[in-house]
Amino acid sequence: MEDWLLIQDGVFLYFALFLMLMGGAVGLPIPEDLPLILAGIIAHNGNGEIHLLFIVCYVSILLGDLLIYSVGWKFGPSLHKHKWFKARLSPERLAKIRRNLEKRSVLMIFIARHLFYFRTVTFLTCGAVGMSFKRFILADAAAALVSVPLMMWLGYTGADQYAALTSSRKETNIISLLLVIVIVATLLYFYIKRRAGLETGEDSEVAAEK
């Protein structure tokens, strides 16, 4: 796919970049940094105008993120009404999650923006808990304003070492995945530990009452 895209030009080139970035947003296994790096290489090779490439990539990414957020926003309320969900997440707990997300929105979205396996879950959650649309789009736009030029610059300056660049990208994705696994495992460990502590405390209270 990469080699095919690099030989395209004209309007179809920009449309192909748009489709790749939107495809990654809806779940296709296309890491966001791949089309961005390719856009930088295309600009270096002279097959595309760098400012137009940036605009297409930037707008495509924001549209993809808004799509993910909108899915969470639309289906989140119906999920909140489900008995299974209510039994595990009270309205008070949900409100606390929303406050924490809005308080740390820029940091959370910036981190998720650069972790392919974490981005979709984070943006879905932002929509599902009713995070302010204005806050989400401003934080996401700020984060993308860092990642898009950075990845395009890497592609532009490393166009002559494309093979090494793609190898490095694969290693980065593996490291990101391992990091997410470690974070999830740590959170799960503390959740189970806290849960066990609460259950022990409840058992002690029941025993004391008897």
Residue 104 forms part of a structural domain: yes
pLDDT per residue as tens digits for the range 13-56 = 889 899 999 888 877 777 788 889 888 888 888 888 999 999 99
pTM of the model: 0.67
19 lies in some domain? yes
The answer to the question of residue 95 being in a domain is yes
Residue 81 has phi, psi (to 5 degrees) of -80, -15
> Does 173 reside within a domain?
no
For residue 189, being part of any structural domain is answered with no
- C-alpha to C-alpha distance for 160 and 157, rounded to whole angstroms: 8
The structural domain count of the chain equals: 1
Q: What pLDDT digit, counting tens, does each position of 94-134 carry?
A: 666 667 677 777 777 777 777 766 777 778 878 887 788 88
Q: Tell me, what's the pLDDT at 163? A: 53
Please tell me the predicted confidence (pLDDT) of residue 103. Answer: 72
Asked whether residue 118 is domain-assigned, the answer is yes
CA distance 66 to 124: 10
Residue 200 has what pLDDT?
62
| CA distance linking residue 5 with residue 109, whole number of Å | 29
Please give the biggest Cα pair distance in the chain.
81
Domain annotation covers residue 138: yes
Is residue 180 one of the residues assigned to a domain? no
Domain around 122: 2-167
- CA Rg value for the chain: 21
